[in-house]
Structure 1
Amino acid sequence: MDKRFLVAGSIFGLLGVIIGAFATHGLNPLLEESSLKSFETGVKYQIYHAFLLLIIGGFKIQGLKKLTSVFYLVVAGVLLFSGSIYLLATNDLTSFDFKSIALITPVGGTLLILAWLILGVKFISLKNE
């Protein structure tokens, strides 16, 4: 088991449920349907990656001892990808124009893609037992 994966996964999961409930009950009357769908996309990806962190952290897979890069890529990717989506989707509710940070979303997505790529390459290189 890797505690850092488990802690990060549980925090992302917890926050994903809270943020998702807040969007459904608190933001639903305030946002346009397209903005609400965008917000929900951020929540989905956050929850998906929370599960990924919990799965990786819960198993001790021989040959996968050093997954530090995957951990940091997922954490940074979720923060940038989902976080920027949350800000952009609620842009009309604030006085700050979050459209200026719109390029952060694809950067976060790219970090998540890299994490999955590294994980896949590590899985391919595992020896069969």
Structure 2
Amino acid sequence: MKLFIILGALNALLSVALGAFGAHGLEKTVEPKYLEIWKTGVHYQMFHAVGLLVIGILLGKVPASSLLSWSGWMMFIGIILFSGSLYILTVTKISVLGAITPLGGVAFLVAWVLVIIAAVKYL
């Protein structure tokens, strides 16, 4: 429970910091196409940081739920793979990194499906 709240808050913090960096530090150094890619990473990181916070709170109600724990880990992995690959792609322009991004998207989808199942089963 506590771990996912900490991970959620940490990722929200990083999302704000990386968003500010993108808006002020990258704006004049990368092409607009790449700046949009960066923004997508920031948005998805923030959405899923909130998801991690929600999972942490739900685990306070359903502490034995392995479904929610797996969901939290899938969201965290999704942030690393999805947003992380977009950040690296933006600064390096190594397009092959775009192949990693969908794996993060799949992790996000699995995480949300697990939340749905846990809600049906436990709440």
For normalisation by structure 1, the TM-score amounts to 0.85
The structure number with the bigger radius of gyration is 1
Report if aligned partners of 1:63, 1:126 keep a CA contact under 8 Å in 2.
no
Match of 1:95 in 2: none
In structure 1, what is the equivalent of residue 28 of structure 2? 29
CA RMSD of aligned residues (A): 1.6
User: Which segment is superposed worse, 29-38 or 57-66?
Assistant: 57-66
**SS of the residue aligned with 2:30?**
coil
- Residue in 2 that maps onto 1:72: 73
User: 1:62 and 1:3, CA in 2 relative to 1: closer, same or farther beyond 3 A?
Assistant: closer
Q: Which runs of 5+ in 1 are unaligned?
A: 93-97
The aligned amino acid for 1:109 is: G
What is residue 118 of structure 2 aligned with on the other side?
Answer: 122
Contact 1:64–1:122 (CA<8 Å) still a contact in 2?
Answer: no
Task: Summarize deviations over 1:81-129 as a string: whole Å, max 9, x none.
Answer: 000011112224xxxxx223221100011011000011111112235xx
What is the identity percentage for the equivalent residue pairs of Structure 1 and Structure 2? 34
Separation in structure 2 between the aligned mates of residue 62 and residue 8 of structure 1, nearest angstrom:
19
- Could you say what secondary structure the match of 2:122 adopts? coil
Structure 2 gaps of 5+ residues are none
2: distance between equivalents of 1:63 and 1:17?
Answer: 30
Higher percent of residues as helix: 2
Aligned residue in 2 for 1:50: 49
Q: Secondary structure at the match of 1:31?
A: coil
- Give me the whole-angstrom Cα distance separating, in 1, the residues matched to 2:97 and 2:62: 40
Count the aligned residue pairs: 121
Show the counterpart of 1:89.
Answer: 90
* TM-score of the pair, normalised by structure 2: 0.89
